[in-house]
Structure 1
Amino acid sequence: MRSTTVFIARPVFPDIIDRLRPHFDVRTHDGEAPLSQPELIAALQGCAGVFITGSEKIDATLLDACPRLKAVCTMAVGYNNVDVPACTARGVVVTNAPGVLTETTADFGFALMMATARRISESERFLREGKWKHWGVDMFAGGDVHGATLGILGMGRIGQAIAKRGHGGFDMKVAYHNRSHLAPDVEASLGATWMALPDLLRAVDHLVIVTPYTPETHHLIGAGQIELMKPTATLTNIARGGVVDDAALAEALAAGTIAAAGLDVFEGEPTVHPALLALRNAVLTPHIASASVPTRRAMANLAVDNLLAALGAGPDAGRPPTALNPEVLG
């Protein structure tokens, strides 16, 4: 088994990567920046498996250049950077890391929504810049969260966890849009009502976006959709860059079409649209929704579990726990 080589595409907790060493020859990329596509192809020569994050692009070109590759295991839950059909056609198993980051990501999404509604980042900058000279009745007055209408776009695990926080903790009215309706008992437990997207956008005080990024959801929220929202509403995106048209959002924020936005993900990240950087009513964070130490460790451990199993090692040999295309396993 030690003749099998795997590649770790980003620096990861060393003790977790050490779990692979009794079974495989392990190569690592130790730089902070992700590898370019040509660099990744070069690094994967002779490798049977690769551990990736959400930054490395796995497409047909790479797969054809790395014919020994048999397993692509990401520690992220999203996998829009991996061409799963191309992997399936070549017999390459793909795994992701769902479930282990649900609660931590929901915590962050709710926190980002609250920071956006209550103008926390804007008021902190005001204080740090030495501008606080007196108190005023309307100083940084934002919108209430308790009792408001929470809209959730994408009602998977994370969306439901956010709904639970809003309904159970803040007495919010919960509306959602999803490709399919939740079961009636789940809707009832979350106090959630399905709405068509235009109706959802008109109704909500705070919109939180958690939908996966696919060709169908590219720019799902653009200028036309934002115009349907209340001028007092906020928008929070913890899904993926590209679900929201960042340029259109920046224009809407500057014009006061909506009150504020909280963004953890961006089109073309780590590049951020310069207009967003200049806005006082945009709360911006660098894709850290799952960034607690316990959760990031759990994500990495699940990716290692998958890599071991996909290449025939460990207690789940031949049965990766979270395969996206298990049909390739036979």
Structure 2
Amino acid sequence: MPAQRLSVVVTRRLPEPVETRLKELFDVSLSEDDHKLTRGELVEAMQKADVLIPCVTDRIDQAMLAQAGEQLKLIANYGAGIDHIDVQTARQRGILVSNTPGVVTDDTADMTMALILAVTRRIPEGLRKMQSGDWGGWTPTAMMGGRISGRRLGILGMGQIGQAVARRARAFGMQVHYHNRRRVRLETEQDLEATYWESLDQMVSRMDVLSINCPHTPSTFHLMNARRLKLLKPSAVIVNTSRGEVIDENALTRMLRAGEIAGAGLDVFEHGHEINPRLREMDNIVLLPHMGSATLEGRTEMGEKVLINVKTFADGHRPPDLVVPGML
């Protein structure tokens, strides 16, 4: 008699090949309409599933985990970031947590460079002018932006994505600087031609472009607060493809409106999809709907990592992308 298949609940729609393979391997409940699950629906899923496959839109806190069924033994997150899951409480309750690291490194780095170019070269402004039919033809002084070659780029968070951004920035002729919780290896610094700053304040005050590439943790919440944002040069640009909570969004909005920062490119926001409406009113800011990892290839590879984590767990082994306390 074949062994009973694991009960798996998927909270959002995933790429079709991933959903199909999950169906082949497990007893799967898929999201048909792709709606964001309520707290009650998430708790209900955790009460019936052996494995839960959530994503960044699913906040799973201590109170919810306290209501999980005893059979829930793995939360296989679809995504690298795990700040929406109380991993410590999960581990205390005997629930493993896995993620999908390294898959979207290049995609996110590409989007970071796209935002830097979009802001400094005023691409969205030009697009709006063309779409409105307001373009009267070329003139020598119209729509002048800035050249990024030769500018100093400060990278906040020199992990895999930060290093990928650095490689791209070097190809564009930018000077790479970085601040990180730990200094990277000397060989990596030399390869990237990157200058390390132990003091974030000192780095921020000297940069032309600041790229946020660190995860959201209790220690990075509002790391770019009002005081630190004021250290930026009035000509500086800030881009964020990491987590919105790292920047004090209200302070950033005030400074952009006052002309104290030249521009910003944001793919993530402090309050999820609830964006400060004043951000939409300015020409010197580019807003994107969390598109940093949105490539078909990247999202499919994320699903494949989830499959491997769940299948390895089902076979009685440790998931290869297990999140351990030292990573938090």
Shorter-chain TM-score range: over 0.9
Q: State which drifts further: 39-48 or 182-191.
A: 39-48
Q: 2:276 aligns with which of 269, 273, 276?
A: 273
Letter in 2 for 1:246: E
The Cα of 1:140 is off from its aligned counterpart by 2.1
| SS of 1:32 mapped into structure 2 | coil
Match of 1:53 in 2: 55
> Partner of 2:232: helix, strand, or coil?
coil
**Coordinate RMSD, CA, aligned:** 1.5
1:261 matches 2:264: yes
Structure 1 partner of 2:311:
308
- Letter matched to residue 200 of structure 1: M
Alignment of 1:118-137 (within 5 A): 118-137=121-140
Cα offset, 1:115, TM superposition: 0.7
C-alpha distance in structure 2 between counterparts of 1:252 and 1:303, whole Å = 41
Say which is worse superposed, 152-161 or 267-276, in terms of deviation.
267-276
Distance of 2:232 and 2:324 partners within structure 1: 38
CA distance in 2, matches of 1:282, 1:172: 21
Q: What letter matches 2:61 in structure 1?
A: D
Q: Which moved more, 1:133-142 or 1:51-60?
A: 133-142
Whichever residue aligns with residue 162 of structure 1, its letter is: V
Aligned partner of 2:55: which letter? Answer: T
Deviation at 1:166, TM superposition (A): 0.9
Q: CA deviation at 1:326?
A: 8.7
Offset at 1:126? 2.0
- Give the distance between the partners of 1:5 and 1:205, measured in 2 at CA: 51
Corresponding residue SS for 1:75: coil
Listed one character per residue, the Cα deviations across residues 62-100 of structure 1 (whole Å, up to 9, x for unaligned) are 222122211011121111001110011011110111111
The 5 A counterparts of 1:66-81 are 66-67=68-69, 68-81=71-84
Q: Distance in 1 between matches of 2:139 and 2:254?
A: 29
Match for 1:38: what amino acid?
G
TM-score, normalised by the number of residues in structure 2: 0.94
Q: What residue number does 1:65 align with?
A: 67
Question: Which residue is 1:241 aligned to?
Answer: 244
SS at 1:254's partner residue?
helix
Match of 2:19 in 1: 17
Residue 41 of structure 1 corresponds to: 43
CA distance in structure 1 between the aligned counterparts of 2:75 and 2:324, rounded to whole angstroms: 11
Q: In the superposition, relative to structure 1, how do residues 295 and 91 fare at CA in structure 2: closer, same or farther (>3 Å)? A: same
1:27 matched residue in structure 2: 29
Please give the secondary structure, in 2, of the residue aligned with 1:133: coil
- The reply to whether residue 105 of structure 1 matches residue 108 of structure 2 is yes
Letter in 2 for 1:182: V
Aligned residues: 322
In 2, distance between residues paired with 1:325 and 1:222?
Answer: 29
Q: Distance in 2 between matches of 1:244 and 1:131?
A: 35
CA displacement at 1:21 relative to structure 2:
2.9
Instruction: Render the CA deviation track for 1:7-64: whole Å, top value 9, x for unaligned.
Output: 0110112321222334421111222321011111123322110111111112222222
Secondary structure, counterpart of 1:203 in structure 2: coil
Q: CA deviation at 1:270?
A: 1.1
Residue number in structure 1 paired with 2:301 = 298
Cα displacement string for residues 88-137 of structure 1 (whole angstroms, at most 9, x for unaligned residues) = 10111101111111111111111111111111112211221222224333
Paired amino acid for 2:245: G
Q: Give the AA of the match of 1:295.
A: G
Is contact 1:226-1:257 (8 Å) kept? no
Residue aligning to 1:2: 4
SS of structure 2 residue aligned to 1:208: strand
| Alpha-carbon separation, structure 2, partners of 1:116 and 1:206 | 10
Question: Percent identical across equivalent pairs?
Answer: 37
Cα drift, residue 286 of structure 1: 0.4
Partner SS state of residue 244, structure 2:
coil
Listed as ranges, the matches of 1:115-264 within 5 Å are 115-167=118-170, 169-195=171-197, 196-264=199-267
Question: Which range moved further: 14-23 or 222-231?
Answer: 14-23
Structure 1: gaps of 5 or more residues:
none
CA distance in 2, matches of 1:326, 1:269: 25
Find the residue that maps to 1:175 and give its secondary structure.
strand
Amino acid at match of 1:41: V
Structure 2: runs of 5+ lacking an equivalent: none
Residues 127, 22 of structure 1: alpha-carbon distance in 2 compared, 3 angstrom cutoff? closer
